Structure 1
């Protein structure tokens, strides 16, 4: 599946390309399922800006996340074997710098994301470093595995590694409908936190309220919705806010924080220049923490959390490759709660 030109969904097409040959240290995986992220739609449109490195040489294959079966181990020094069921780490890294040696691959100066900086997973076969492949248990489906890496790894990095989440704390997830948000709520709840969520959509609010790990849903369309958060927490506020929306929600997110609370951010889909008061931060001992996608260590811990607890991504839709344009439409129009997955026919 490739994009032949930047633009609308009509630029997406299923095309034939040569099968990949594994370079030294690589294995080839036959993809059984690949998940979409909003970044796929940005890349397809040829958008540029902070965090979006364009233009890509065309044609280009999208997709950061994928799961499937190893079909060729080449000359890689690995204990992986043909037939192993695996999920792929989405990051690209040098593997040699001090950060890579520490397992903090997302701090690598050469860091990139599969599907953005190299051909991605929305294809039948992909060659990847053997060190970026993790086996999955037999009771985890390929769709579940493919839908997990970005959401669970980012959430683990934000809440556990950077956010230092503790049992008994309150966590607010802003714009709680995508894969990162769902994973964040699951990780928080399993860690013993009380979970609140915001959404602007009444139907999504109804569906979120039915999830066992959500304590209360806040109307994110209401002006000054931080007041509802304070009312729900006996005027104390929450200990951690997870916000990937950005500028439109930061003021309410910060005002929802308790004394000493932490705002953990991993994105800015709504804008990257918020209007905030510095005094509201330092006078209440509040912190802002960047929690982008994590390294291999965070990926491995997040996936093992999923395997161990039985937590699972919510798969909103699973479509054949031929319906990739519909998958992009669902993402762009915000219909989904959870992830959208595509798979070879």
Structure 2
């Protein structure tokens, strides 16, 4: 089968053996894939969790049809339309644990379904499970114009947030954040953004920050979080190291939580998928939670798709079809 592989010459389309499902695995015929920032790093040979390096089939997110079941796989049957996340997604066939997929709603095509698994699971876990957002509370999403950021704002609104603030350093994308739940859009590269957040919250700061930027905004986040508020660190697009004001952190009694899928067990990931199904899946089926598709590429154009992502001018998801 053809797959997008990181090889000795970098990322390229190559022929690789078709995988066979074992245990609780499901073999999926892939029809569409969603691109993610971690994929971009892996096309340059970076390691993401246990994945990466020469010989790696790239990709983390897909939609397709169940082609074959492992002997212990349950909950789906051959022919079911599904979407999910896992390794080696950019290929004609991929393997997934039976607990790491969703049934695609009947009113959703493969392109649309491929945009959702990572955004839904990452941000339900950040906003609801770890962030414990309650109706009437206020939230700031740092890096809100990414696919997961747009989903975070929608989930916050669905859960009754009274104020949703979204950040983007791009003026064009910032202007569109209100279409996806932002009551206030800020530029996190503007030194005065904390004052804007404090003004919008009567000087208190927000109850919750979901941070995908980190690096240079670390101390500003502390200033923008209310006393006994919470920061959930999801991503580090702005840098993995920065100055951190421990005294301010202590004075404001902020709960600071780091999350990633890279060190989670399959049992933990199954629980996250189950929580999404139990809590917000009806909103997905009703199309209340959805992401814009910026551009669709054929599999033969996958290199162009990654170049488009690296240019960082898109809003929403980039999709590759097979």
| Structure 1 residue 300 corresponds to structure 2 residue 274 | yes
Query: Residues 6 and 46 of structure 1 are in contact (CA less than 8 Å); yes or no, is this contact kept in structure 2?
Result: no
What CA distance in whole angstroms lies between the structure 1 residues aligned with 2:127 and 2:74? 32
Structure 1 stretches of 5 or more lacking a match? 91-113, 115-119
- Could you tell me which residue of structure 1 aligns to residue 264 of structure 2? none
Query: Residues 245 and 269 of structure 1 are in contact (CA less than 8 Å); yes or no, is this contact kept in structure 2?
Result: yes
For residues 191-230 of structure 1, the aligned pairs below 5 Å read 191-193=159-161, 194-209=163-178, 211-230=179-198
Query: Offset at 1:292?
Result: 2.4
- Could you tell me which residue of structure 2 aligns to residue 326 of structure 1? 304
What CA distance in whole angstroms lies between the structure 2 residues aligned with 1:35 and 1:290? 24
- Could you tell me which residue of structure 2 aligns to residue 182 of structure 1? 150
Query: Offset at 1:282?
Result: 1.4
Residue deviations 1:194-222 (CA, integer Å, cap 9, x gap) = 2111111111111213x151101012221
Distance 1:70 1:212, change over 3 A: closer
For residues 1-345 of structure 1, the aligned pairs below 5 Å read 1-5=3-7, 11-47=10-46, 56-58=53-55, 60-90=56-86, 114=87, 120-193=88-161, 194-209=163-178, 211-293=179-261, 295-303=269-277, 305=279, 307-309=281-283, 310=287, 311-344=289-322
What CA distance in whole angstroms lies between the structure 1 residues aligned with 2:73 and 2:169? 50
- Tell me the TM-score normalised to structure 1 length: 0.83
Query: Offset at 1:161?
Result: 1.0
Query: Residues 19 and 125 of structure 1 are in contact (CA less than 8 Å); yes or no, is this contact kept in structure 2?
Result: yes
What CA distance in whole angstroms lies between the structure 2 residues aligned with 1:143 and 1:224? 39
Residue deviations 1:140-192 (CA, integer Å, cap 9, x gap) = 22222221121111111111111111000010011211122111101100000
Query: Offset at 1:305?
Result: 4.9
What CA distance in whole angstroms lies between the structure 2 residues aligned with 1:141 and 1:216? 32
Query: Offset at 1:29?
Result: 0.8
Distance 1:242 1:305, change over 3 A: same
- Tell me the TM-score normalised to structure 2 length: 0.88
Query: Residues 27 and 76 of structure 1 are in contact (CA less than 8 Å); yes or no, is this contact kept in structure 2?
Result: no
Structure 2 stretches of 5 or more lacking a match? 262-267
Query: Residues 306 and 312 of structure 1 are in contact (CA less than 8 Å); yes or no, is this contact kept in structure 2?
Result: no
Give aligned pairs, total.
309
What CA distance in whole angstroms lies between the structure 1 residues aligned with 2:251 and 2:59? 43
Distance 1:130 1:203, change over 3 A: same
Distance 1:77 1:264, change over 3 A: closer
Query: Offset at 1:45?
Result: 0.8
